[in-house]
Amino acid sequence: MSASNGNGNGNGNRNGSQTGAIRIGFYVCHCGHNIGAVVDCAAVAHYVGTLPGVVLSRDYKYMCSDPGQELIQSDIREHRLNRVVVASCSPLLHEHTFRTAVERGGLNPFYFQMVNIREHNSWVHNDRELATVKAKAQARAAVERVRYHDSLRTTRVPIQPDVLVVGGGISGIHAALTLGNAGKKVFLVEREPSIGGHMAQFDKTFPTLDCAACILTPKMSAVRAHENITLWTYSEVAKVEGYVGNYTVTIRRRPRYVIEDLCVGCLECVGKCIYKEAKFPDDFNVGLSRRKPIYIPFPQAVPQVVLIDPERCLQVKTGKCKKTCLEACADRKAIDFSQQEELVQIKVGTIILATGFKLFDAKRIPQYGYGLYPNVVTSLELERLVTSSGPTSGEIILRDGSKPRTAGFILCVGSRDTRTNRWCSRTCCMHSMKLAQLFKEHTQADVTIFYMDIRAPGKGCEEFYDKSLREGIRFVRGRVAEVTDWALAPEEEGKLVIRVEDTLAGFVRRIPVDMIVLAVGMEPQADSQAMRRLFNLSCSTEGWFLEKHPKLAPVSTFTDGIFIAGCCQGPKDIPDSIAQAGAAAAECLALIDRGYIEQEPNTAHIHEENCSGCKSCLPLCPYTAISFDETVGRARINEALCKGCGTCVASCPSGAIGQHLFEDEQIFKEIEGILA
């Protein structure tokens, strides 16, 4: 903990180092045209210069520039300023910059107040005259407030070096490995029984056409073998408490009815299961194959451990089974029907969310006939068909077992559509071209891609588009209106007919094909809203986790210490997911290796003379920072635990609790200032 803590001599020292009159310096920033075009900055500076206590008032083009900061520092010294107000952009962007400048000028950094006349004014107003009036009122409020500012000091809290990574797809795996390799202890939590995510289901990856399994499985095994990574599959985050540097996370570990440490993945039990035939849909093969109640998700699963589906297993459901699996397992005794759900608590300093995406449900667009016509499949289903480890051992066949001679790929299924998902899913153009090339290679079929726009901006992607064209894949520009099996011409008999406007040719066409592949887009996970609440994040209106800044902080969130990577932030391909995962890991390392978190001194404090000892604040504090001192009959606040939420301040019936940076008189003066 910091040296300034606990005894109150650090914080709350009003005018402690200042003697004499308040001398305020005011600066208004043009921010180029951002503010200057709407607010008359010179007029604001002139007006504020007339306010009592203001000894200096300037307007300047870019206050955040080095000369701008230099100006504040030299003015503090030359004009003996003891308060500084800057009217510019959002405190989120530059409060730290200006506080540092004030500090360098020799003042306590909290004798500073920032006014946001950009987001709160120039960006939302057009009328120059009225915007200027408003800017003056905003500045006046800050000038009134800053008089009552205190000399404060930030506190330092040590950071827990362990990291939690949620989601074991390619992003989560990469983040965990990066952190593990840097020597940090990582908990990798995955909901499914194996890590690998969507990438494990792919056959090849665009644009290089290298085998997805060959590049993914080494990373999966590395996770399993890594001394710094604790891998918990079939587990979910149940509860998150605490704050940056000190999170307490509760993990719910679902029972697999198999002891992970004892199972060696020999699959003897699967062979001996009382169900002689596999009859339950296999999730990994998107329902295209069947599995038994005891199963391993896929051959390269990590961990190489079987699990029992409690919904299907006779023993778990009814308790009346011969338990042939137990016999098969014999001395290893890895099967344990008495396993119960387990809650484990861990302490981590930072969290990376890499919870991924779900695919658009093609049934939501009924005119494409998914679920109605058996030979209309999704891109992921084709991916499983084309993989040698898939249900058909890599053979692309129609439902009747015959080989397709023609195929149509429909792009943007569910994407770029205001009625379903507005966004572009970014990967489907390339993904479909990859599948189309594989389709042609496997079947020599005539393949047509129906697209609205081909988006191939990634590295090597335009070249891949060219390769597709040269390999004879047909491209028809037009969004398919409907798929039907109603033949109007002899060549359409027994086929699926795509009705589409060939927009480049300028007429409507009917194109018969054997198989239709729907390039379904990406969507936020079904429980993304619950996750958002669990981790206290923001979501975009679509449900993607919101980054702190779309350009400058793309993996940070508004909750300090929680980072996002991969498709939970928005659709992206594998290279982008990995780049984000690496960035998120680096952000964690930056926090961990500094060793401490600097906390805003916005803690609450008790005016003992007013405290009646009613204890009503005690149960309200979410951080259990308030205790009761029996000897004097007063409440006490532990500044190290206080997060400055203000709940106790508002609730105290005696008005005995104050809060640094938000003292009553500061707020009242600010209100008076803006209304004056």
541 binds other proteins (CB under 8 A): no
**Closest distance between other proteins and the C-beta of residue 434, in Å?**
23
CB of residue 461 vs other proteins: minimum separation in angstroms?
21
| Pick 503 or 538: Cβ nearer other proteins | 503
- Closest to 119 measured CA to CA, from 97, 89, 140, 98: 89
- Cβ closest to other proteins, residue 104 vs residue 499: 499
CB 467: neighbour CB atoms within 10 A?
Answer: 15
Q: Which residue among 508, 620, 671, 676 contacts other proteins (CB under 8 A)?
A: 508
> Among 457, 490, 506, 619, which residue sits at the site for other proteins (rule: CB under 8 A)?
506
Query: By C-beta, is 429 or 584 nearer to other proteins?
Result: 429
Q: In angstroms, what is the minimal distance from the CB of 566 to other proteins?
A: 27
Q: Amino acid letter at 611?
A: C
| Candidate ranges 156-164, 313-321, 417-425, 647-655; the one touching other proteins (CB under 8 A) | 417-425
Closest distance between other proteins and the C-beta of residue 423, in Å?
12
E-only strand ranges, 337-472: 342-348, 350-353, 357-359, 376-378, 406-413, 446-451
Dihedral through CA 288, CA 293, CA 298, CA 301, nearest 10?
150
- If the CB atoms of residues 245 and 521 are measured against other proteins, the closer one turns out to be 521
Q: Which is nearer to other proteins, 7 or 418 (CB)?
A: 418
Q: Summarize the chain as % helix, strand, coil (round to 5).
A: 30, 25, 45
The tokens for 463 are 């070249």
Stretch that binds other proteins, among 59-67, 222-230, 321-329, 475-483 (CB under 8 A): 475-483
The least distance separating other proteins from the CB of residue 379, rounded to whole angstroms, comes to 19
453 lies in the site for other proteins, by CB under 8 A: yes
- Binding to other proteins (CB under 8 A) within 476-505 occurs at 477-482, 499-503
Residue 469, classed as helix, strand or coil, is helix
* 343 vs 481, beta carbon nearer other proteins: 481
Q: What's the number of CA atoms in the CB half-sphere (13 Å) around residue 262?
A: 14
Cα 553 to Cα 310: distance, rounded to the nearest angstrom = 43
- Among residues 368 and 439, whose Cβ is nearest to other proteins? 368
x-or-dash string of contact with other proteins, 229-268, rule CB under 8 A: ----------------------------------------
Comparing CB distances to other proteins, the nearer of 46 and 477 is 477
Residue 496, strand partner residues? 513
Tokens of 47: 């007006």
Task: Tell me the closest approach of the beta carbon of residue 153 to other proteins, in angstroms.
Answer: 54
Rounded to a whole number of angstroms, the minimum distance from the CB of residue 418 to other proteins is 5
Cα(611)–Cα(629) distance, integer angstroms: 11
Q: Which is nearer to other proteins, 453 or 542 (CB)?
A: 453
Whichever of 193 and 512 has its CB closer to other proteins, that residue is 512
Tell me which stretch binds other proteins (CB under 8 A): 44-52, 91-99, 433-441, 472-480: 472-480
Whichever of 31 and 411 has its CB closer to other proteins, that residue is 411
Residues 191-210 close enough to bind other proteins by CB under 8 A = none
Residue 315 CB, shortest distance to other proteins, in Å, is 50
- Give the CA distances from residue 227 to residues 48, 150, 185, 193, 585, in Å, rounded to whole numbers and listed in that order: 62, 49, 8, 20, 17
Smallest distance from the beta carbon of 417 to other proteins, in angstroms? 4
CB-based contacts of 657: which residues, under 8 Å, 6+ apart?
604, 605, 606, 607, 611, 617, 635, 637, 648, 649
Please choose, out of 16-24, 176-184, 242-250, 412-420, the segment that lies near other proteins by the rule CB under 8 A. 412-420
Task: Please answer whether residues 176 and 188 qualify as being in contact, where contact means their C-beta atoms are separated by less than 8 angstroms.
Answer: yes
For residues 83-119, one letter each, b for 16 or more C-beta atoms within 10 angstroms of the residue's C-beta and e for the rest, the string is bbbbbbbebebbbebbbbbbbebebbbbbbbbbbbbe
Nearer to other proteins, 34 or 421 (CB): 421
Tell me the closest approach of the beta carbon of residue 361 to other proteins, in angstroms.
17
Instruction: Read off the tokens for 347.
Output: 């302490």
Compare residues 419 and 470 and give the one whose CB is closer to other proteins.
419
Are residues 134 and 121 in contact, defined by beta-carbon separation less than 8 angstroms? yes
* Token pair in block for residue 207: 């644009």
Phi, psi values for residue 329, rounded to 5°: -70, -30
Residue 394 φ/ψ region, left for φ over 0, alpha for ψ in the -120 to 50 degree band, beta for the rest: left
Stretch that binds other proteins, among 49-57, 155-163, 409-417, 528-536 (CB under 8 A): 409-417
DSSP annotation of 619 reads G
Q: In the bound complex, what is the minimum distance in angstroms from residue 481's beta carbon to other proteins?
A: 3
Task: Give the nearest distance from C-beta 381 to other proteins in angstroms.
Answer: 23
CB closer to other proteins out of 105 and 571: 571
CB of 513 to other proteins, least distance (A): 15
* Length reported for the chain: 676
Binding marks (x or -) toward other proteins, 117..146, rule CB under 8 A?
------------------------------
The Cα 295–Cα 308 span in angstroms is 7
Strand, coil or helix: 597: strand
- Which lies closer to other proteins via its Cβ, residue 379 or residue 421? 421
- Identify whether the C-beta of residue 429 lies closer than 8 Å to the C-beta of residue 473: no
Site for other proteins in 17-46 (CB under 8 A): none
Distance CA 220, CA 170 (A): 9
What is the nearest approach in angstroms of other proteins to the Cβ of residue 500? 5
Asked whether the beta carbons of 520 and 362 are under 8 A apart, the reply is: yes
Residue whose C-alpha is closest to residue 165's, from 565, 579, 570:
565
Compute how many residues bind other proteins; rule: CB under 8 A.
Answer: 22
**Which residues in 357-386 contact other proteins (CB under 8 A)?**
367
Q: Which of 103, 361, 395, 417 binds other proteins (CB under 8 A)?
A: 417
Minimum distance, C-beta of residue 409 to other proteins, in the bound complex (Å): 15
User: Which residues have a Cβ under 8 Å from the Cβ of 206 and sit 6 or more positions away?
Assistant: 430, 431, 433, 434, 461, 464, 573
Nearest-angstrom CA–CA distance, 494 and 402: 13
Tell whether residue 419 is a contact of other proteins (CB under 8 A).
Answer: yes
Cα separation, 271 vs 639, in Å, equals 61
Binding site for other proteins (CB under 8 A): 367, 412, 416-419, 452-453, 477-482, 499-503, 506-508
